[in-house]
Amino acid sequence: MSDKKTKTRDQIDQKYKWNIESMYPNEADWDKDYNAVMQMSDEYVKYSGRLGESAELLLEAFQEKDKIWQVAEKVYVYARMKLDEDNRVTKYQAFSDKCHTLLAKASASMSFFTPELLEIPEEKLLGFIKEEPGLKLYEYLILDILREKAHVLSKAEENILAQMSEVTSATKDIFSMLNNADIKFGTIIDEDGDVVEITHGKYINFMESYDRRIRKDAFERMYEAYKKQINTIATTYNYNTKTDAVSARIRKYDSSLAATLSSDNIEKEVYHNLVDVVNKNLPTLHRYMKLRKKILGVEELTMYDVYVPLIEIPDKTVSYEEALDIMRAGLAPLGEEYLSKMNKGIEAGWIDVYENEGKTSGAYSFGSYDSMPFILLNYSEKLKDVFTIVHEMGHSMNSDYTREAQPFVYGGHSIFTAEVASTVNESLLMQYLLKNETDVNMKKYLLNLYIEEFRTTLFRQTMFAEFELLTHEAVERGDVLTAEWMCNEYEKLNKKYFGEVISEDEYIRYEWARIPHFYNSFYVYKYATGYSAATAISNKILKEGKTAVHNYIEFLKSGESNYPIELLKIAGVDMSSPKPIEQAMETFEKLVDEFERLV
């Protein structure tokens, strides 16, 4: 893979491609499943108005619903992943388009289910569970639906809200169109003297450049573009936040935060614990920023100096086979069973390794309940790619364990827990590399990389979470989110988080305007809580050994069989308490201490 020209898919050796054909060895079977879902969806309306007739009928309706979604998921995943192999193939473009119709059809056919289930008197519904043993499987799901009963409206009202969703979700689409299609950031002169257009993808590479002029130019061009659009973006975000507040009010929640957390049955204290503990530990981040200024040797530390790596290392290639060996060594603390399952997965064809023309960029773990937990990579033989493999393998192993242990209805993962398995793997790999590295410069590089993971995931996402809280509380007080108010509040937050060592500039106040996650409200905090939980779990595994590994594997098997907070307790972490976040902060402080000693 040393030549620079991107290969076509047929030029990639088969051993580096995923075994997606295992899903549908004959694509005629894909058509059969597609048509079966369409037919089953048409027939599902026979249960409408009848769910309360008997325990047997309710069980049948649950089972049929699962069957439809299980087949629909497989059909969709195959189409999506075949398209990801080469997005230019019209056959799979058509497959993927057909799946959107399929999923909409299935959703519409079952839209009556939850409102009608809630119309059954609670005593009668609980009696059904006692009467029909098969309903015991669905008891957790039924109780969860009942928990939300006070916030579910009548059939007619729910129908109105469902129809209005296309309108109420418009702000996200408007921002996406502006941010990805219309806004232009201009060009800069790169290291080679070439004129290069700034894009979202290239921006972070410019921010990591060792040429400070490039960082400054890219930073200023980027935020100048947002500054020019700031009133439009502020209006869009204002109405996005208003939609959250109105929706929460209609559904009888006391706040937008409570409404959002309710789906995972998470108390508001979990969110506030995160913000409070991170705020108490900001002095350590400020110390690291001062160290950054010292190492860079700049008179003033600016926001465009924040992402450049502090330690330079020679370019070193890591072959894919070497990467797998490093992964095996790094994940050895998870035990023989974990490694054996992982190795079998690699041999069976979980992973699609190299880039090819038309292939979807980035990396992911994906699959259906009935398929392998596939991994898409675009491996480029860099150290960061090793971390990517380990990260995605964490997701895939989580899926593999869950699908073996759980029925389809609980075979997925909530966002709150999903990132834990991937981040535990990254943490174990990092600690393995640090422990075994003998080159001092490389050790400094790894420490800096680890510190930056904490900064960008735990601190930065918590700062975003705090900004979301400010904006939603303002709207709930009846305030209007003006561009000036949001820029001022964001600037204060940025100063609080980064400390006095960062010199003031006229641009960072516009950063909030480029964050797409703000249109998926109260989402980013899950990155920070997940990172904290993963840090606590990986430390437990390394300190306690087999007992901690056993508990962690049990967590990996749990899927969505309980609420996220309860599932994480299986692995020995209680996220309703501030303790895991405090422990993560202690780890961060130790890393900064060690880095400071070495530099």
Residues marked active site are found at 392
Residue 103: CA count within 13 A, CB half-sphere: 14
Among residues 309, 289, 308, the alpha carbon closest in space to that of 207 is found at 308
- Give the rounded distance of the alpha carbon of 566 from its chain centre: 20
Q: What is the C-alpha to C-alpha distance for residues 80 and 464, in angstroms, rounded to an integer?
A: 31
Q: What is the C-alpha to C-alpha distance for residues 432 and 135, in angstroms, rounded to an integer?
A: 46
In the numeric block, which tokens belong to residue 460?
């930065």
Q: What is the C-alpha to C-alpha distance for residues 281 and 200, in angstroms, rounded to an integer?
A: 31
In the numeric block, which tokens belong to residue 37?
């879902």
Provide the 8-state DSSP code for 372: -
Q: What is the C-alpha to C-alpha distance for residues 265 and 263, in angstroms, rounded to an integer?
A: 6
φ/ψ (deg, to 5) at 349: 100, 40
By the 10 Å C-beta count (0-12 exposed, 13-18 middle, 19+ buried), 66 is classed as middle
Residue pair 558/251 in contact (Cβ under 8 Å)? The answer is no
* Strands of the 374-376 sheet, one edge to the other: 351-352, 374-376, 364-366
- Residue written as tokens 């009942």? 146
Residue pair 302/502 in contact (Cβ under 8 Å)? The answer is yes
Among residues 322, 373, 371, 370, the alpha carbon closest in space to that of 346 is found at 373
Residue pair 548/541 in contact (Cβ under 8 Å)? The answer is yes
Which residues are CB-neighbours of 348 under 8 A, at least 6 positions away? 19, 22, 372
Q: Are strands 374-376 and 351-352 parallel, antiparallel or unpaired?
A: parallel
Residue 305: CA count within 13 A, CB half-sphere: 23
Which residues are CB-neighbours of 222 under 8 A, at least 6 positions away? 185, 198, 203, 514
